[in-house]
């Protein structure tokens, strides 16, 4: 592991050009020397194998949670320095990411040491999500859909935790994105959820049904935040039983269980 040095504080912002499959490591003077073939820059890491190895060794992966405004490149490199196993980008909007080069440039930067990296999108339709996946695939090791964000401005757009009650929408996004990856560029897809708002019993039936749909669609892992969208950190303790029960029900699906420390 590299010490935290000037190299990190001066990390070049990377632009990318999907059509040419080259990364541009300096935004200012665009000479052809600054383009680095993506394959040379960044070998991909198999996150699912990491999950399997951890399970076999009876241990766990340390995963840095996605955080809007915070989990940008510098933060991720710092977390990796402190032995995180997997890092996440903040949630990015799949509709603008899939449509606008400007959005891609301002939302995303990476670096040769920025891995294993999961990129997280807010999305509510298969077209935006699968296009965003295809843009980002060369630069990441996994892709996540955020169906856990409870912020009103996100839910109003029918994104984030609004999708917990719309399993078919999640199914369609995961399924279509998986189908569109050609074998060489396949990246595993995860989904972050909250507890279903109707699950006030201890059985978490609807949350389990949701995980079942996600698994059927071909997702590789699910992250369970043990609160409903109405429950906030400030006034509701996380319910550790929700994630635990989902994990017991789904042994084949890798499961990141959050917030056990509260
Ligand atoms: C400032 C901030 C930004 C966050 N942004 C995201 C995000 O972009 N995507 C996401 O899935 N979760 C996001 N979260 C939620 C965290 O990933 C994590 O689920 C949550 O903080 C855990 O619950 P706790 O705050 O009660 O510990 C964010 C949380 C905070 C505090």
Task: Tell me if residue 133 is catalytic.
Answer: no
The values of phi and psi at residue 259, to 5°, are 55, 45
What does 86-129 look like in DSSP terms, one character per residue? BEEEEEEEHHHHHH-HHHHHHH----TT--SEEEEEE-SSHHHH
**Do residues 87 and 114 touch, judged by C-beta distance below 8 A?**
yes
| Position with higher pLDDT, 197 vs 261 | 197
Q: Which atom of ligand 1 is nearest to the CA of 225?
A: 19
**Could you tell which of 62, 63, 64, 65 is best to mutate to test the pocket of ligand 1, judged by most ligand atoms within 8 Å of the CB?**
65
For the segment 42-59, the average pLDDT, to the nearest whole number, is 87
Please tell me the distance between residue 62's alpha carbon and the centre of ligand 1 in angstroms: 15
Cα end-to-end distance, the chain, whole Å: 30
Look at residue 29 in the predicted model and tell me its pLDDT.
42
Look at residue 253 in the predicted model and tell me its pLDDT.
67
Look at residue 28 in the predicted model and tell me its pLDDT.
41
User: pLDDT tens digits for 197-251?
Assistant: 988 766 888 999 999 899 899 999 999 998 899 988 778 888 878 887 877 777 6
What is the rounded CA–CA span in Å between residue 51 and residue 253? 10
| Position with higher pLDDT, 262 vs 48 | 48
Look at residue 257 in the predicted model and tell me its pLDDT.
64
Residues 6+ apart with CB under 8 A from 5: none
Look at residue 138 in the predicted model and tell me its pLDDT.
82
* Local structure of residue 159 (DSSP, 8 states): -
Residues 6+ apart with CB under 8 A from 101: none
What is the rounded CA–CA span in Å between residue 157 and residue 65? 23
Sign of torsion over alpha carbons 91, 96, 97, 100: negative
Cis status of the peptide bond prior to 116, with omega within 30 of 0: yes
Q: Which atom of ligand 1 is nearest to the CA of 148?
A: 11
Closest CA to 223 of 76, 47, 72, 74: 47
Catalytic residue among 140, 147, 149, 255: 149
**Do residues 50 and 116 touch, judged by C-beta distance below 8 A?**
yes
In the predicted model, is pLDDT for residue 13 greater than 70?
Answer: no
User: pLDDT tens digits for 137-189?
Assistant: 888 999 999 999 999 999 999 999 999 999 999 999 999 998 887 666 788 99
Cβ of 148 closer than 6 Å to ligand 1, yes or no, is yes
């Amino acid at each position: 592991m590299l010490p935290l040095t000037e190299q990190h504080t001066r990390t070049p912002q990377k632009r990318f050009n999907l059509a040419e499959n080259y990364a541009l490591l300096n935004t200012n003077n665009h000479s052809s020397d600054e383009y680095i073939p993506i394959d040379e820059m960044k070998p991909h890491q198999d996150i699912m194998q990491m999950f399997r190895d951890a399970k076999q060794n009876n241990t766990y992966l340390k995963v840095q949670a996605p955080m809007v405004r915070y989990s940008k490149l510098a933060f991720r490199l710092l977390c990796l320095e402190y032995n995180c196993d997997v890092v996440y980008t903040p949630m990015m909007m799949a509709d603008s990411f899939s449509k606008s080069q400007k959005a891609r440039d301002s939302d995303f930067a990476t670096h040769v040491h920025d891995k294993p990296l999961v990129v997280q999108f807010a999305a509510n339709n298969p077209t935006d999500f699968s296009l965003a996946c295809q843009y980002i695939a060369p630069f990441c090791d996994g892709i996540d859909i955020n169906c856990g964000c409870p912020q009103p401005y996100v839910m109003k757009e029918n994104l984030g935790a609004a999708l917990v009650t719309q399993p078919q929408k999640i199914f369609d996004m995961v399924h279509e994105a998986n189908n569109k990856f050609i074998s060489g560029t396949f990246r595993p897809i995860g989904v972050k959820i909250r507890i279903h708002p109707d699950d006030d019993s201890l059985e978490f039936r609807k949350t389990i049904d949701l995980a079942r749909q996600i698994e059927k669609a071909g997702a590789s892992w699910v992250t369970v935040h043990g609160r409903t969208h109405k429950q906030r950190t400030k006034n509701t303790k996380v319910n550790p039983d929700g994630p635990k029960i989902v994990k017991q029900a789904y042994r084949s699906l890798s499961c990141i269980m959050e917030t056990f420390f509260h």
